[in-house]
Amino acid sequence: MLSLRPNCECCDRDLPPENREAMICTFECTFCADCAEARLGGICPNCSGELVRRPVRPAAMLAKYPASTERVLKPQGCADGRAA
């Protein structure tokens, strides 16, 4: 089950579970659409995987399976789409 992380790892923008601008890779690294496109070129800087739109969990299921509250932030920021 997806953890639905609450923020962009690059800019720390809030990405609530219903947000359709959240992008993830297969490891659930999470970025806003602006950072994913403009800064990362659609490639995860952590694993080099493709960034795709994160699905929205239905409200009834969100109540039963809440989103994560753990914020993840890259302290060095995100310069480009190459894995570190």
In this predicted structure, the answer to whether residue 40 has a pLDDT above a threshold of 80 is: yes
In this structure, which amino acid lies at residue 37?
E
| Contact assessment for residue 19 and residue 8, using Cβ atoms and an 8 Å cutoff | no
pLDDT over 70 at 80, yes or no: no
Do 14 and 6 form a contact (C-beta atoms < 8 A)? yes
Encode burial over 34-71: b for 16+ CB neighbours within 10 A, e otherwise.
ebbeebbeebbbbeebebeebeebeeeeeeeeebeeee
pLDDT band (50, 70, 90) for residue 81: very low
